[in-house]
Structure formats: structure tokens, C-alpha cells
Amino acid sequence: MTTQLGVGIIGTGNISDAYLKAAPQFPVLRIVACADVNMAAAEAKAAIYGIEALTVAALLADPRIDIVLNLTTPQHHVSVGLQALAAGRHVYSEKPLAVEMAEARKLVNAAHASGLRVGCAPDTFLGGSHQTARAAIDTGVIGDVVAGSATMMCPGHELWHPNPDFYYQTGGGPMLDMGPYYLTCLINLLGPVARVTGAAKASYPSRTIGSGPRQDEVIKVAVPTHISGLLDFANGAQISITTSFDVWKHGTNHIELYGTTGSMIVSDPNQFQGAIKVSQGKGDWQDVPQSHGYGDGNYRILGLADMAQAILSDRPHRASLDLSLHVLEVMEAIMVSAETGQRAVLEHGCARPAMMQADLPFGILDN
């Protein structure tokens, strides 16, 4: 019986290190090779992690590889995903699934036609912190969630990133960059979104790179950098969300949920760990004991490992195509609403992903 699937990585930028460092903790995965349009970058990464460096074409043709891990920049997620599906490989992509729904539908159609799996980050919602929040909500700790807020605000990635251009080009901006973490977390907790209303603006026409060899170089801003939305969930909850690259400092929590009998503070959805706090009525905040594993570090390959195990076990995977498509639809609808001034009704819902099992040994994702 097959117990392990081979993985080939396309794209060896900064995020690849997090995946490669976490991979050995999950025996269902075997990282075989990496590829990049910059062969020198692929060779350097391969040397660090003891894997093979290949061209993209050679990687896609390699019979050892069952799943392509697509870590390219967002503008290339669909094109690389389509190549992988055409080569008969399952695909797991960094977020977002695509930069627009029209492109994403090509990937959806190809996946359905091929019968192959497509998964997509983020997978932080599978971590111990957010699974603990899900368990607490499902047991009615704060009653029915009626409202809440989600906030990701910072002064901009150009302060630390040596090549921040793509954050401010089409396909970038704070919603497409960071919105997937917040929206995926909220959909895991509350279910799908039914309608959205949005507002957006670009506060500054340009940005100055603050570090690295291009320090002090000025780049143009081509996308909104302060985006707000009101999310009407199918279950009746109304959640406000703000993502911004225009805020120097703030004092709000990442996510707060308000229920009929209490309130909850949810930890950073860009992390696997963090305290979940609950207040009953007007009572004091209390930490909720962590109920699930993977809440004490960076496991940024957990969604891929779950998909690999799901392929072998013939069950749905949690960081699914439907989930990531719905997240993209929500983000695009916020931007459309901001442009038109009209509330947008969503067409593609999704089911809440199954909860993680809390009683399995570390690294094992099925019985």
C-alpha cells in the first residue's frame, strides 16, 4: 500500500523555506525536487535541503512526483497549476488561488476534467489555535455568532521586503495578500459568505523601498491599499473586515466574534499558534485550553500533508479548491462592490471544512 506521495516544488522564493523546513514532520510527504525560472535559485535551494534541482519541464515530467507544490507569485498560480494538471499531477498552491475569478475558473474546469486534486493555502486554520476556536464555537461557548470584526493593518511590506513591487501591482494589495488568512479562518468558523459590501482606496501614489540593494528606490502603486468590507454570512453573522498597507500602528485584535451569550478573541490567522480568549456575558476574558495539535510552531505545509493523506484515504481534503475559490470570490466581490457602490451577492459557496482530529499522533493525519 502506498503511504507516501512525492512532491515537486515550483518556485523557490522566500516562502519555500517554511514549506521545506516543515515537510520532514509529515511522513506522508516526500519532497523530491524543486524548480524555478531562475535555475541558480533552484540549485541553491536544493543544496540547502538535500533535494534535486530540475527545470520546470523536467519536474513536471518526473514520474516520482505526484503533487506539484506551486509557490510562484500570484500572477502565475493558474498558469503553473494548469501545466501541472496537464502533466497528470495534483496541485497545491500558495494563496490566493488566482488573482481573479475568470482565471480561477480555468483551473476549476481543468481539475474537474482531469479528476485531479487542487488544494490551496492558507492552511493556518488547521493549526491548534484556530481548531480550538472552531471547537469552542461549535459547542456554543459564545452562543450564535451575530457580529464581529477582522483587522489586518500595517504600514506596508516595502519597509522590509527587498523586492516589494508585486504587492502594489495588479494581483497584489492587502486584500489579496492577507485577506485569504482572515477569510479562510472566518469561513472555517462560520461557514460561507452570502453577500458583501466594499470600499477601497490607495492612500499614496508611490512607495519607497526601505531595505536591501534597492533601498530608496521608488515604486508606483497600482492597486487600492486600504480596503474594507462588510461580510453577510449565510448563517446571519455580519463581520466587518479591513486590510490595509496604510496604517502605522493600531490597537485592535486580529479577529473578534460577538455571540448571543459571549464574545471571543481569535488569534492571528497568519499563525498556527496563539491564545483564544472567551468572555461569558460581561465576564472577564479567559483563555480557552488548546484542544488540537499543531499550535506551537510554523507548520506551513500542513494543508498539503492533509491533501496528500486525503488522496491516499479517498476523502475530501480540508484546504480545498472549493474553499479557496469561495475566498477568492469574496475578495473580488469586495473590490467590485467598492467600484460600483452596490452590494455584491455571491454565487459560489462552500462547505465548512471538516475539523482536524485531535487524538492522532503528531504528523499523522488519518487513522
Mean pLDDT (whole number) for 147-151: 98
| Sequence-separated (6 or more) residues with CB below 8 Å from residue 69 | 7, 8, 9, 10, 19, 92, 93, 304
Looking at the DSSP assignment, which residues form a beta bridge with residue 263?
Answer: 258, 279
Q: Are residues 182 and 283 in the same domain?
A: yes
Contact 189, 137 (CB under 8 A): yes
**Which residues, in sequence order, are CB contacts of 166 under 8 Å at separation 6+?**
73, 74, 75, 172
Q: Are residues 98 and 85 part of one domain?
A: yes
**DSSP letter at 358?**
S
Same domain, 111 and 146: no
- Residue 338's closest CA among 225, 260, 210? 225
The whole domain housing 56 covers 5-124+299-320
Q: Are residues 92 and 46 in the same domain?
A: yes
Per the domain annotation, does 72 fall within a domain?
yes
pTM metric for this prediction: 0.95
- Within its chain, how far is the Cα of 344 from the centroid? 23
Enter the DSSP assignment of 289. Answer: P
pLDDT tens for each residue of 228-246: 999 999 999 999 999 999 9
Q: Mean pLDDT throughout 15-32?
A: 97
Q: What is the mean pLDDT of residues 43-48?
A: 98
CA triplet 185, 24, 313: central angle to 5 degrees? Answer: 65
pLDDT at residue 52 is higher than 90: yes
Whether residue 97 is predicted with pLDDT greater than 70 in this model: the reply is yes
Q: Are residues 273 and 307 in the same domain?
A: no
101-127 average pLDDT score: 98
Flag whether 348 is in a domain: no
What integer pLDDT is reported at residue 1 of this predicted model? 64
Q: What is the mean pLDDT of residues 72-85?
A: 96
Question: What local confidence, expressed as pLDDT, does residue 102 receive?
Answer: 96
pLDDT value for 120: 98
Q: Are residues 282 and 163 in the same domain?
A: yes
pLDDT of residue 265: 98
CA dist 113 and 125 (Å) reads: 29
Mention every residue, 6+ apart, whose C-beta is less than 8 A from residue 159.
Answer: 210, 211
Is there a contact between 152 and 180 (Cβ–Cβ < 8 Å)?
A: no
Residue 322: pLDDT over 90: yes
Q: Per-residue confidence at 266, pLDDT binned at 50, 70, 90?
A: very high
Q: Tell me the three cell numbers of residue 232.
A: 453577510
The whole-chain average pLDDT of the chain stands at 97
| Residues 15 and 139 both lie in one domain | no
**Do 66 and 188 belong to one domain?**
no
Same domain, 38 and 166: no
Query: Do 336 and 108 touch, CB atoms closer than 8 A?
Result: no
Instruction: State the CB neighbour count (10 A cutoff) for residue 39.
Output: 14
135 shares a domain with 240: yes
- Contact at 8 Å (CB) between 72 and 166? no
- Whether 100 has a pLDDT exceeding 90, the answer reads yes
Residue 267 lies in a domain: yes
Per residue, the 3-state secondary structure of 65-121, as one string, reads CCEEEECCCHHHHHHHHHHHHHCCCEEEECCCCCCCHHHHHHHHHHHHHHCCCEEEC
Query: What CATH number is attached to the domain comprising 269?
Result: 3.30.360.10
The whole-number pLDDT of residue 170 equals: 86
Instruction: Tally the domains of the chain.
Output: 2
Distances (CA, A) of 67 to 31, 98, 120, 247, 313: 10, 18, 12, 39, 15
Q: Phi-psi category of 191—alpha, beta or left, where left has phi over 0 and alpha has psi -120 to 50?
A: left
Same domain, 304 and 266: no
Q: Are residues 38 and 143 in the same domain?
A: no
Q: Give the mean model confidence (pLDDT) for residues 124-129.
A: 98
How confident is residue 336, by pLDDT bands cut at 50, 70 and 90?
A: very high
Are the C-beta atoms of 34 and 16 separated by less than 8 Å?
A: yes
